[in-house]
Amino acid sequence: MSLPSRINHKRMAVVALAAGVLLGGCSDIYYDRRDTIALGGSDAVASNRVIHTVDPWPRHSENHNLAFNGERSQTAVERYQHNKVIEPVSVTTSSAMSATQQAAAAAAAQATAASAAAPVK
């Protein structure tokens, strides 16, 4: 290799090293390790408030008094356990479903309602 070629390689290496050092200051590593709520905020009070919160769940999330019909739920569970299905009744206004099918579906619904579960104590 000739002398100008070596100087050219050295110059390229120095320029690459200088560019690496200068662009290394633009690194985002420092910003990834900070204690803030949002990227643009440096709100230490809000950060400490969140860190020291004992129970972050809303108050109404602990309400165990859910409104439901226990008898209806119990009959549904019993139907599931005995593999009994209530045939759905057509809710359309068309005359495609005959009266005998409607009567059979109504009788099946009454039969399952009559065989309700024992009362809950």
CA distance 44 to 107: 68
**pLDDT tens across 29-50, in order?**
666 666 655 665 667 787 788 7
> What is the CA angle 51-56-62, rounded to 5?
160
Helix (H, G, I), strand (E, B) or coil at 120: coil
pLDDT tier, 77 (very low <50, low <70, confident <90, very high otherwise): very high
Q: Is the model's pLDDT at 80 over the cut of 70?
A: yes
Which residue did the predictor score with more confidence, 31 or 80?
Answer: 80
Identify which of 102, 109, 101 has the alpha carbon closest to the alpha carbon of residue 75. 109
Residue 82, pLDDT score: 92
Tell me how far apart the alpha carbons of residues 70 and 79 are, in angstroms, rounded to a whole number.
14
